[in-house]
Amino acid sequence: MKILKILRKTYFKLTYSLLHYLVKDDVQVMGWPGIEDHINIQNDLINKVKFKPTDVVLDLGCGTGLTTKRLSPMVKSIIGVDNCQGMLIRARKNTKNCSNAKIVYSEGRELPFKNNQFTRVICYSVFNYLAGLDEAKLLIQEMIRVSRQGAIIFIGEILNSKKKKIIALSEHIEASGLRVKGLGWLHSIVAAIVYHLLAWYDPIDLMNFCKELDVKGVVLSREKPLLYINETFDFLINI
């Protein structure tokens, strides 16, 4: 089981590095079918996490930095962190005109920051690529460590093991591939195949884990499904 978890993590890490060389599109290299979907994701995130001009933000698993770039004019400063060098090359390019943004290489579970640094921590579509629940717990602990009193941590697009079901390839293609240009069709086929390899979580496990920690509150949310995978949940932690 442990070997499987390590294999899964290594597989996704290698895939992201390889995709960086193969795929030109900054959105598709992160696994999203198209820019419209990504803008919807950003809007949903902005809606749920109320950003303020005084906010010091950490974007954990920033990918190619598109969300980091979008948030940069809304906040005091923002740091994008990722553990894939290929993504960071793109993130640095995409944020080169954002004077308050910085891009840093790091593993999510060992962040190179002091305690109580950030007022907002966002971590979107990252948990599915971790080794599993144990690593998810380490990331949550680390996010809490670097957050100030009153901060909000947003963990988005977590796959819900309670709703796991077999999704037919045709469903993926119909839902995403046929309505996007470029490599959308390829994305939907790959997504259907790797769907079962991803890390899935029971929301109650994560909720109970957070309640054991020193946090003010934890909220599960997802008002409407965003992409082709609609079995996901979001998680807001109030520090």
Q: Could you tell me which residues are beta bridge partners of residue 217? A: 238
Closer CB to ligand SAM, residue 198 or residue 215?
Answer: 198
Number of residues lying near ligand SAM (CB under 6 A): 18
> Which range touches ligand SAM (CB under 6 A), out of 80-88, 96-104, 191-199, 229-237?
80-88
Distance CA 150, CA 173 (A): 42
Distance CA 152, CA 149 (A): 9
Near ligand SAM by CB under 6 A: residue from 16, 195, 200, 235: 16
Does the footprint of ligand SAM cover residue 67 (CB under 6 A)?
Answer: yes
Helices (H) and strands (E) in the chain, counts: 8, 7
Nearest Cα residue to 136 out of 235, 206, 222, 213? 206
Closer CB to ligand SAM, residue 83 or residue 150?
Answer: 83
Closer CB to ligand SAM, residue 86 or residue 203?
Answer: 86
Nearest residue to ligand SAM on Cβ basis? 63
Does the footprint of ligand SAM cover residue 84 (CB under 6 A)?
Answer: yes
Does the footprint of ligand SAM cover residue 37 (CB under 6 A)?
Answer: no
Closer CB to ligand SAM, residue 62 or residue 175?
Answer: 62
Residue 47 φ then ψ, to 5°: -65, -40
Does the footprint of ligand SAM cover residue 78 (CB under 6 A)?
Answer: no
Does the footprint of ligand SAM cover residue 25 (CB under 6 A)?
Answer: no
- 160 with 231: CB under 8 angstroms? yes
Nearest Cα residue to 26 out of 82, 77, 81, 64? 64
Measured on CA atoms in the order 140, 146, 150, 156, is the torsion positive or negative? negative
Near ligand SAM by CB under 6 A: residue from 19, 30, 58, 143: 30
Near ligand SAM by CB under 6 A: residue from 37, 51, 103, 124: 124
Near ligand SAM by CB under 6 A: residue from 33, 34, 63, 177: 63
The answer for residues whose C-beta is within 8 angstroms of residue 196's C-beta and 6 or more apart is none
Does the footprint of ligand SAM cover residue 129 (CB under 6 A)?
Answer: yes
The answer for residues whose C-beta is within 8 angstroms of residue 2's C-beta and 6 or more apart is none
Does the footprint of ligand SAM cover residue 34 (CB under 6 A)?
Answer: no
Does the footprint of ligand SAM cover residue 176 (CB under 6 A)?
Answer: no
Task: Give me Rg for the CA atoms of the chain.
Answer: 17
For binding to ligand SAM (CB under 6 A), which residues are involved? 16, 30-31, 61-63, 67, 82-84, 87, 107-108, 124-126, 129-130
